Structure 1
Amino acid sequence: MTWKNTAEQNAIIEWKGTHLVVNAFAGTGKTTTLVSYAEANPESRMLYLAYNRAVRDEAERRFPYNVECKTSHQLAWARFGKHFRDRLTASLRITDVARKLNTRHWPLARLALSGLNMFLCSADPEPGLIHLPSEDDRHGLDAGKILGAIQILWYEMSRTDSVFPVTHDTYLKMFQLSQPDLSKRWDTILFDEAQDANPVTSAFVLNQPCRVILFGDRYQQIYRFRGADNALNARQLAQADRLWLTASFRFGPEVARVANILLERAGEEKRVAGNGGQDAVVSDLPAGAEHITVLSRTVSGVIGSALTASLMEKKVFWVGGIEGYKTEELEDLYWFSADMPEKMQSPRLSRDYRDFDEYCSIAKATQDVEMNQAIRLLDDFFPLPQKLAIMRRQVVSHEKEAQVTVSTAHRSKGLEWSVVMLSEDFTDITDPLLSQEERQDETNLLYVAVTRARKTLVLNELMRWLSEAGEGDDENDAVMPDDTGEISGTE
């Protein structure tokens, strides 16, 4: 069977210009289109800029010879990173900061470290007041004193003759500030996942004199809490050409209908078309499914799903590896609740909370989703240490050996499965107390989770209610009833 490009794909492949922004809905053949564009322009020297190493490795297998695939850190390493090899660390410790500042004032050290990280992730040329935490979070410390501390740390980091530790973000920042001219090596830059771009990377990419094509889906922007910026809307692109990919080959019309409900709530007028064949959206897990993937909003939700599956003697695959979900912290919470600190692996809980009652009070007062989920797991899977031991025995390292895959929605981005089930821990996007930014972020995360399904999507209660509410104009004003059937947040 010969693959035939859509009219939308052909418009991109045949495009001639200097700046192009492609908004690509989930599963719309973004990478296939990029590869076709590269093949249609064999004389062009292209750089494909990937957001992580795994994506880069996959791209290297797919792109033709005229495309080099790199991450932004890989670009920066050749020019700056290699000179700091002996000082590299994954992240700065607060003790490193306090020692360099010659202070035992831990709030100052913490605020300086936070501000430094904000600066390193920004597009700004030097540390400034804009990188400081809000006034409420400064513990009464003078802004000038905090900024001075940040400037000292940056000076020490950027010196080649210093012994102060350097992070990977340090040499990337130095690369951006050097105003590199990538056009000396490449005439076209393919900037993937631009909706969640690091502002540092966006800054040097968008200032290139060569052709730049940005691909992304604004509704898959889910890392704003890390400082990610939507480069698709950058001011430098005001005059850029804009094209769309709206036909999804991942799923069919049923999953597309659910995705479109979320797109409408997000204010999008365009709709994704489900061209991936027959699919189904159901409320209950279909009998006889050989493999299912359960996606959760929280880490605690993932652990709960894994516990449930493991206690049913199912083999479980954890996306990213079980070690990334810090199950030992949940076990520590159990021993903390039992007032047995000697069995805890870390003193963090004892240091941060007077006792378990205070932990529960803070969880309730702040409505912290992770904390409340963790408390619920202690009740649902008592005694937890024994249940966690069973769970760990059911872990498999290869997904093909698993009957159940578990992941957070964040980690699921870029992946897909035949059968996807949504956990009940996703944030209620109809909650009137959410800020506009929070509502957008949580809607995006639901959209990412929903669009991981190829053949069957099992809805949670929230998505069932939104689906039944329909796609009418009044839907965006609707509020989901609480457990009593009452409408929450209204008079």
Structure 2
Amino acid sequence: MPFVAKAWKDLQDPEDGVVRFEHDHYLKMWALTEPKIEADFLLLDEAQDTNPVLERVFAAQRGHAQLVMVGDSAQAIYGWRGARDMMTGFDAVHLTLTRSFRFGPLLAEQANRWLAFTDAPIRLTGSDTIPTKVGLVTSPGAVLCRTNIGAVTEVMRLLEAGRGVALTRGGQTLIALALAARDLKDGRRTSHPELVLFASWGELQEYAEYDPAGRDLQPFVELVDTHGPEAIIAAVDALTDEDKAEVTVSTAHKAKGREWLGVRIADDFPPPPDSDQLDDSGCPIPEPVSETDARLAYVAVTRARHQLDLGGLAWIENQPAPAGGA
């Protein structure tokens, strides 16, 4: 706690302090002033992923304003950052919208497959007036990835194919990964959160190749070994603004709240591992889909309006439905 107090004191001086000043810091400072928002109505969007600081400010306005929340509990995918579903336990009239105005019945079926693996009580119906196909999409408007490393791989692949590529929220994520790889290859440790545990590039290569937990890193390692970190940095310079791009690459987290006519799911959404149990034909029965993975997949597939290519999530076709979840 003494170090926390010292850091907080440093943050009160954003001009001369040494601790990096982030958005969360001024949000907290504002919240501590117990602000009164002069409004008759307040609407909180994406309420299923509200951070506790904002939740407290919002709830404090109940005495003078009507509070309205909008959200989808099945899209709560930021719990790892401390966010929580504020709609749970909210003292208000609950109104449910289950018919989608974004896509048709076929895509609603895909969404419901993933909802079955969550505790969400609702199921979606699509709009009959919107034609939606589920199958191969050769020219998607967006490619959605599970990880930043998966996004790097997709960007490089699409650029090599001569496509005009945009990356949601710019290329700083790619540059940071490339610089971290360069540090490891040069024999220096890196502070990058996804690679900080490795003392050298060789250690990362060994982990990606031989440890099952390292499979997410394997495409990135192969990419760097084939092209080098500088090629990834150069790829950032080749990125296009979204309004001019042929295809946008995004993580599913960053795609939340957005939509495209055609979406392809990238290959970095792995199926659950096999369990120790066997089915009647002697084949291993896969572990059930975790609720965290199901929520993220649900967000990803519902970004499409007219065309969805399941890609890296096509394994759901062979996944046993959960008992009582249909």
Compute the TM-score of the two structures, normalised by the length of structure 2: 0.80
- CA deviation map 1:455-484 (0-9, x unaligned): 1100124x32323547573779xxxxxxxx
* Matched residue type, 2:241: S
Match of 2:6 among 110, 129, 152: 152
**Given residue 198 of structure 1, which amino acid in structure 2 is its aligned partner?**
N
Tell me what 1:300 maps to: 149
1:473 and 2:323 correspond? yes
Which residue number corresponds to residue 162 of structure 2?
A: 313
Structure number with higher relative contact order (C-alpha < 8 Å, ≥ 6 residues apart)? 2
Quick check: 2:178–2:229 contact (8 Å CA) kept in 1? Answer: no
Call closer, same or farther: CA 1:330–1:232 in 2, change over 3 Å.
same
Q: Which moved more, 1:299-308 or 1:251-260?
A: 299-308
Instruction: Indicate the SS of the match to 1:464.
Output: helix
Deviation of residue 203 (structure 1)?
A: 0.8
Q: Distance in 2 between matches of 1:403 and 1:415?
A: 16
Q: Which residue of 1 aligns with 2:241?
A: 397
User: Is 2:27 aligned against 1:172?
Assistant: yes
Q: CA deviation at 1:326?
A: 2.3
Output one character per residue of 1:204-261: Cα deviation in whole Å (capped at 9) or x when no partner.
211221311111111111222222121111x4x2x32111111111111111100001
2:296 equivalent to 1:445: yes
- Structure 1 CA distance for aligned equivalents of residues 233 and 34 of structure 2: 52
Q: Which residue of 2 aligns with 1:330?
A: 178
Structure 1 residue 302: Cα displacement: 1.1
Secondary structure, aligned partner of 1:273: coil
Contact 2:165 2:239 in 1 (8 A): yes
Do the aligned partners of 1:250 and 1:454 also contact (CA within 8 Å) in 2? Answer: yes
String of CA shifts for 1:190-212, please: whole Å, max 9, x gaps: 11111111110101211221311
- 1:460 is the counterpart of 2:298: no
Check the 8 A contact 2:263/2:309 in 1, yes or no. yes
Q: Deviations over 1:94-128 (max 9, x none)?
A: xxxxxxxxxxxxxxxxxxxxxxxxxxxxxxxxxxx
Cα 1:362–1:473 change in 2 (3 A) is same
- C-alpha change, 1:211 and 1:305, in structure 2 (3 Å) is same
Matched, 1:221 2:76: yes
- Map 1:38-437; keep pairs closer than 5 Å: 147-155=1-9, 157-158=11-12, 167-182=22-37, 185-208=38-61, 209=63, 210-233=65-88, 235=89, 237=90, 239-275=91-127, 277-282=130-135, 284-286=136-138, 289=139, 291-323=140-172, 325-327=173-175, 329-330=177-178, 333=181, 336-337=184-185, 341=186, 353-363=198-208, 365=211, 367-368=213-214, 370-378=216-224, 382-384=226-228, 388=232, 391-392=235-236, 394-399=238-243, 401-428=244-271
Q: Which runs of 5+ in 1 are unaligned?
A: 1-146, 477-491
- Secondary structure of the 2:94 match is strand
> Aligned partners of 2:26, 2:157: CA distance in 1, in Å?
44
Partner residue of 1:6?
none
Q: Distance in 2 between matches of 1:265 and 1:154?
A: 41
The answer to whether the Cα contact below 8 Å between 2:262 and 2:305 also exists between their aligned partners in 1 is yes
Give the whole-Å Cα distance in 1 for the aligned partners of 2:84 and 2:47. 8
Partner SS, residue 306 of structure 1 = helix
Give the letter for the 1:186 counterpart. A
Change (3 A) 1:227 1:465: same
Decide whether aligned partners of structure 1 residues 156 and 311 sit closer, same or farther in structure 2, where only a CA change above 3 A counts. closer
Q: In the superposition, relative to structure 1, how do residues 148 and 261 fare at CA in structure 2: closer, same or farther (>3 Å)? A: same
The residue type equivalent to 2:240 in the other structure is V
In the superposition, the TM-score normalised over structure 1's length comes to: 0.55
Aligned alpha-carbon RMSD (Å)? 3.6
Alpha carbons of 1:245 and 1:474: their partners in 2 closer, same or farther (altered >3 Å)?
A: closer
User: What SS is found at the alignment partner of 1:245?
Assistant: coil
- Counting aligned pairs with the same residue, the percent is 28
8 A Cα contact 1:429 1:443, kept in partner: no
CA pair 360-430 structure 1, distance change in 2 beyond 3 A: closer
Tell me, in whole angstroms, the C-alpha distance in 2 between the residues paired with 1:334 and 1:431.
36
Equivalent residue, structure 1, for 2:284: none
Task: Give the distance between the partners of 1:370 and 1:171, measured in 2 at CA.
Answer: 34
Q: Is the 8 A contact 2:50 2:85 kept in 1?
A: yes
Paired residues of 1:469 and 1:475 also in contact (CA < 8 A):
no
Does the 8 Å CA contact 1:261/1:467 hold for their aligned counterparts?
A: no
Contact 2:137 2:309 in 1 (8 A): yes
- Note closer, same or farther for the CA distance 1:153–1:393 as it changes in structure 2 (3 Å cut): closer
Q: How far apart, in 1, do the equivalents of 2:196 and 2:111 lie?
A: 44
Question: What is the Cα deviation at residue 398 of structure 1?
Answer: 3.9
Residue 200 to residue 390, structure 1, CA distance change in 2 (3 Å): closer
**Unpaired segments of 5 or more residues in structure 2?**
277-286
Amino acid at match of 1:459: L
Contact 2:150 2:266 in 1 (8 A): yes
| Structure with bigger gyration radius | 1
What residue identity is the alignment partner of 2:222? R
Match of 1:42 in 2: none
- Count of residue pairs brought into register by the alignment: 310
3-state SS of the aligned residue for 1:179?
coil
